Amino acid sequence: MKAQPLSASDGAASHHTCLLPGGYLDQNDELHREAELVCLSGRHEESLASRPESVPAAVLVTQILSQCVKRIGSVCPVTDDVARRLLVADRQYLLLKLREVTFGDRVEGTLGCPWPTCGAKVDIDFSIADLPVKRCEQVAPTYQVELTPEASPVDADGATHRTITFRLPNGADQESLAPGVADDPARTLTRLLERCIVGTETGCDEGSDLVDRLTARARREIEGAMEATAPRLELEMDLACPECGRAFTAPFELQDFFFGELNTTQDMLYRQVHYLAYHYHWSESEILAMPRDKRLAYIGVLADEIEALNSAV
């Protein structure tokens, strides 16, 4: 089999840019919005395949983003710490963009119909570019919400707090809260508020005492203000079951989908490397620098040629 040796530049991934729905605020509160990323290579798949199962998805997202996002505005390199300080919607957006540049814009899959008596498979099929994105024009380190008098919490010494200062949830919050999310979602939400409420008009900055004193109404007002301020990706899908005809809404589980799609075993990956190295004489690092689609395309070409040779004999 004749093949040209692959040069290092052929293996280098091309760079793509996109505009974050929120943006990254650096230490000087300067906002950086344009992100530059490269598609996922075999190397990234290898590091994902060798991870311990107990690593929470939020931690993986941080790792993947710091490996594949090369620059945000003038912030370069994008370290784990930078990836952690990105807003939740910016992390989701970057994950979607990574998926788009690696495997394409079209998302196809199936979900189970939620009706217990049905459970039929429902197809999902959409393009990433069509997902509605609520952008945030005024990203700030903190925001203030004025509570209604009925909702304002009262101190032990009788002082009433009307103005609550909060920041928006980011990757560090997701990583820190990940272990409890499945077991106790209500407790997780309380801890998120404790982390994100940074003060009141009297300047106190302890979150947990204050959150304990918040009424349900005050929490709703604060959560509503956070939602109104934060950038957001609309990941809810309106679906109809072809079997029972019922309409329902389901969230697109972005992280599960992303990591599920990437779930190559090390064994499969090393077989691909072996096959390509054996026939093309490329090095392991050249092969692992390629995105999956490209590796599989070459393997497909080889398989066709081998079959053509066999049938010619």
Q: Kindly state whether residue 120 participates in binding Zn ion, applying the rule CB under 5 A.
A: yes
Q: For residue 131, is it left (φ>0), alpha (ψ between -120 and 50) or beta?
A: beta
Binding to Zn ion by CB under 5 A, coded x per residue (else -) over 237-256, reads ----x-xx------------
Which of 39, 47, 20 is CA-nearest to residue 136?
20
Question: Minimal distance in Å, beta carbon 235 to Zn ion?
Answer: 21
Q: Indicate which single residue of 13, 87, 113, 210 sits in contact with Zn ion (rule: CB under 5 A).
A: 113
- Which amino acid is located at 293 in the chain? D
DSSP state of 13: P
Closer of 172 and 244 to Zn ion (Cβ): 244
Q: Kindly state whether residue 124 participates in binding Zn ion, applying the rule CB under 5 A.
A: no
Partner residues linked to 209 by β-bridges: none
Question: Minimal distance in Å, beta carbon 246 to Zn ion?
Answer: 5
DSSP state of 116: T
Six-digit token pair at 221?
Answer: 């007002």
Q: Kindly state whether residue 198 participates in binding Zn ion, applying the rule CB under 5 A.
A: no
- Cβ atoms of 87 and 206 within 8 Å: the answer is no
Question: Minimal distance in Å, beta carbon 115 to Zn ion?
Answer: 5
**DSSP-derived 3-state class of residue 212:** helix
Q: Indicate which single residue of 25, 31, 118, 181 sits in contact with Zn ion (rule: CB under 5 A).
A: 118
Cα 220–222–224 angle (5° rounding)? 65
Closer of 240 and 296 to Zn ion (Cβ): 240
Question: Minimal distance in Å, beta carbon 114 to Zn ion?
Answer: 8
Closer of 120 and 204 to Zn ion (Cβ): 120
- Cβ atoms of 150 and 216 within 8 Å: the answer is no
- Cβ atoms of 287 and 272 within 8 Å: the answer is yes
Closer of 149 and 245 to Zn ion (Cβ): 245
Q: Kindly state whether residue 111 participates in binding Zn ion, applying the rule CB under 5 A.
A: no
Closer of 112 and 179 to Zn ion (Cβ): 112
Closer of 76 and 240 to Zn ion (Cβ): 240
| Residues listed for the chain | 313
Q: Which residues make up the interface to Zn ion (CB under 5 A)?
A: 113, 115, 118, 120, 241, 243-244
